[in-house]
Copies of this chain bind each other. A is one copy, B any other.
Amino acid sequence: MHIVEKNIYYCTIRRMKLFIAQLNPVVGDINGNFGKIMHAARTADAEQADLIITPELCLTGYPPLDLLERTDFLDTSDTFISYLKKELPKDRMTIVGAPFRELIDNETRLFSAAYVFHNGHIVDVIKKTLLPTYDVFDEARYFTTNNEPPRVITLGREKIGITICEDIWNDELFAKTRRYQKNPLAELMKKKPTIVVNISASPWESGKHLYRRDMIVHATKRWKTTLVYVNQTGANDALIFDGRSMIVREGRILWAGPHYEPCLESFDLMHYKKRPPVDVTKTGDLFLALTLGIKDYFAKQGFTKAVIGLSGGIDSALVAVLAVHALGKDNVLGVLMPSEFSSGHSISDAEFLAANLGIQTLVLPIQSPFESMKALLRTQIASSTLPDAMKEKITADDVTEENIQSRVRGMLLMALSNKYGYLMLATGNKSEMSTGYATLYGDLCGALAPLGDVFKTDVYTLSEYVNASYGRCIPDNIITKAPSAELRPNQKDQDTLPPYEILDGILRAYLEEGLPFDDIIEKFNKTTATWVIRTLHQNEYKRRQAPLILKTSKKSLRPGRYFPIVQKYHRHF
């Protein structure tokens, strides 16, 4: 669709040296983040940059969540804003994302803002207009919507227009779903800025950076302008930020920042060498994101070492590879916990993997605690005053005993975690966490579930990518054998679950795409689809107690998905 735009300003950029501070702040570490901003500004000063740009809320780190409800937290933020005013290089204009309080009608309102520092003053504070409140975003919980008319800030011969993250995501010609009625960028363009700045903390999900790039290319073409996009990098809890800041002029990408790492770089809008975005495959991108997610979860809490249960299966193999890439091989302990139901190849496959990765292993056969637990239950229940029906039931193995095995393993790994200060990584993937094919307090133990938002089919793709890119570290047998929990003789995942291609297809349609049930059963078998969706909902209570999941898709199991545990909707199907 082509429409004629009014009020278009044909920007003519003169000398203007931008400085992109693609930072990795730590949530709540205002002091530390202040240090990072000051370091960036001093570097920019040395490079004689005119305009220094930092990401959204970079003084507090994003997302600060309910820290924003604490007045002492906001007071601390304000204190460091006053330090910035004093200490930032005078001659450079600096844009810093931070919370801003304002008294309106006798009530204090909070805004997500861009502070503009220049010559020892705060020359302006631009407030965010569109507050994302969907999926992982909760901004209406904390912030008030900006209702001021847009304005530009003069810097030399340039007129700078500032937007904050979501403010550029509601273009009526580009957005698939328009969540808001306003398009703040369109309003701003009426003020004829020569440069548009967008400060962001835009959480990564697979493929999102391509959409974002297309959106910015579209916007700069539509408005015939130059847009400087500065995004946070690093991971905070479940969210990974890919950075990928960029400078785009009228649809042409002049400069593309690195992904998954901080970057301090100046860029002269008159004299520059183009730098295109780094090419990466979808799977390669996922691998980098997960590695950063693990790395920052450990580093930002001061942990260095991970403990992982190695079952000989593909999930734990992939988690071990990711952990080695994130933390280094000397910081990963693989624990083999065979039982009577473990096949010989499970142990050897795990050992080959560990040898390939060069990680330390420990073998803890679970037979004795498992037997001891079973025996205790059997003898005590037999001699108890419980009804006969209950006594009878304890004599035969069922899912209870399978869960005990899984829980003994979880307990042993947690014991190592407690004893040695290692963090336990959970190995569950999205397919099994969706269907409850993972034992609560067993497989679901751990600080972090790196694969909790990765379907089993993608676990295979990722494993093949790893073998192709980093030497064949995952033994072929791990990739080719039929997946099994090995909790009873000859058990296979597919005894209980639909084939993973089908299962993942249904989950993707229902969970990620949010397709209506009727559309799903047009594509999939109705009985299978009904089973998958019911099972998904019935296992909500397990996921409520699951470890933190690194978000990789447009809809993770948590956070960003809030379903009641007690509900009966799925019984309608």
Stretch at the interface among A209-217, A242-250, A391-399: A391-399
**In the complex, which residues of chain B have a beta carbon less than 8 angstroms from the beta carbon of A570?**
28
Please state if B447 and A441 are interface contacts (CB–CB under 8 Å).
Answer: no
B569 with A29: CB separation less than 8 A: yes
Point out the residues of chain B lying under 8 angstroms from A66, CB to CB. 561-563
Structural contact, B67 and A29, CB atoms closer than 8 A: no
Name the B residues within 8 Å of A107 (CB-CB): 177-179
Copies of this polypeptide in the complex: 2
Interface assignment of A31: CB less than 8 Å from any CB of chain B: yes
Stretch at the interface among A276-284, A311-319, A489-497, A541-549: A541-549
When the two chains form the complex, which single residue of B106, B371, B385 contacts A360, counting CB atoms closer than 8 Å? Answer: B385
Report the bound CA distance from A419 to B397 in whole Å. Answer: 9
A373 in contact with B541 (CB, 8 Å): no
Closest to A76 in B: B572
Binds B, one of A152-160, A222-230, A406-414: A406-414
CB-CB under 8 A for A420 and B393, given A26-B567, A567-B61, A568-B27: yes
* In the complex, chain A residues 99-120 whose Cβ is within 8 Å of any chain B Cβ: 104-107
Chain A, residues 137-166, CB within 8 Å of chain B (1/0): the string is 010110000000000000000000000000
Q: Does A355 contact B (CB under 8 A)?
A: no
Whether B380 pairs with A376 at a CB distance below 8 angstroms is no
CA distance A26 to B410 in the complex (A): 35
Most buried by B among A28, A381, A516: A28
CB <8 Å contact, A375 and B368: yes
A13 interface residue (CB < 8 Å to B): no
A360 to B366, CA, bound (A): 32
Set of chain B residues within 8 Å of A31, measured between Cβ atoms = 572
- A301 interfacial by beta-carbon distance below 8 Å: yes
Contact of A419 among B76, B105, B393 (CB under 8 A): B393
Residue of B nearest to A366 (CB): B376
Residues of B within 8 A of A105 (CB): 178, 181
CA distance A441 to B546 in the complex (A): 11
> In angstroms, how far is the closest chain B Cβ from the Cβ of A513?
11
Which B residue's beta carbon lies closest to that of A70?
B514
Please indicate the chain B residues that have their CB under 8 angstroms from the CB of A394 in the complex: 419
**With an 8 A cutoff between CB atoms, is A369 at the interface?**
yes
Nearest CB to that of A235 among chain B residues? B566
Docked Cα-Cα span, A227 to B307, in Å, equals: 61
A482 within 8 A of B: no
Q: B564 contacts A27, CB within 8 Å? A: yes
With A140-B133, A384-B362, A545-B545 in contact, is A301–B566 under 8 Å at CB?
A: yes
Residue of B nearest to A73 (CB): B569
Q: Check if A32 is an interface residue, CB within 8 A of chain B.
A: yes
Is A69 an interface position by the 8 A CB rule? Answer: yes
Residues on the B chain within 8 Å of A418, using CB = 398-400, 403
User: Does chain B have a CB within 8 A of A47?
Assistant: no
Nearest residue, chain B, Cβ from A29: B568
Q: What's the minimum C-beta distance from A478 to chain B, rounded to whole angstroms?
A: 22
A368/B376 in contact, CB under 8 A: yes
B69–A410 contact, CB under 8 A?
no
The reply to whether B380 and A363 contact each other, CB–CB distance below 8 Å, is: yes
- Report if A123 contacts B (CB, 8 A): no
Contact B414 A398 (CB under 8 A): no
A566 to B181 alpha-carbon distance, docked (Å): 35
Q: Which of B386, B410, B445, B569 contacts A362 (CB 8 A)?
A: B386
Residue among B73, B236, B364, B410 making CB contact with A566, cutoff 8 Å: B236
Interface string of A403-434 (1 = CB under 8 A from B): 11001101110111011100000000000000
What's the Cα separation between A572 and B517 when bound, in Å?
A: 50
List the B side residues contacting A87 at CB < 8 Å.
none
CA distance A376 to B364 in the complex (A): 7
A425 to chain B minimum Cβ distance, whole angstroms, is 13
> Are A566 and B412 in touch, CB under 8 angstroms?
no
Considering the complex, give the chain B residue whose CB is closest to the CB of A67: B569
Bound Cα distance from A69 to B71, whole angstroms: 33
A173 at interface (Cβ–Cβ under 8 A)?
no
Q: Mark A292-315 against chain B: 1 for CB-CB distance below 8 A, else 0.
A: 000011001100000000000000
Q: Are A138 and B562 in contact (CB under 8 A)?
A: yes
A353 at interface (Cβ–Cβ under 8 A)?
Answer: no
Q: Which residue of B lies closest to A418 (CB)?
A: B400
Please encode chain A, from 522 to 563, with 1 for each CB lying within 8 Å of some chain B CB and 0 for all others: 000000000000000000010011111000000000000111
A420 CB contacts on chain B under 8 angstroms: 390, 393
Are A403 and B398 in contact, with the CB atoms below 8 A?
no
Cα separation A366 to B411 with both chains bound (whole Å): 14
Contacts of A51-95 to chain B: CB distance below 8 A: 61, 63-67, 69-73, 75-76
| Chain A 13-36 near chain B by CB (<8 Å), digits 1 or 0 | 000000000000011111110000
A-B residue pairs in contact (CB < 8 Å), sample of 15: A30-B572, A64-B567, A66-B562, A70-B514, A70-B516, A71-B516, A76-B572, A133-B133, A362-B384, A363-B380, A369-B373, A371-B372, A377-B416, A398-B418, A414-B440
**A: which residues have CB within 8 A of B?**
26-32, 61, 63-67, 69-73, 75-76, 104-107, 133-134, 138, 140-141, 177-179, 181, 236-237, 296-297, 300-301, 360-366, 368-369, 371-373, 375-377, 380-381, 384-386, 390, 393-394, 398-400, 403-404, 407-408, 410-412, 414-416, 418-420, 440-441, 445, 447, 514, 516-518, 541, 544-548, 561-572
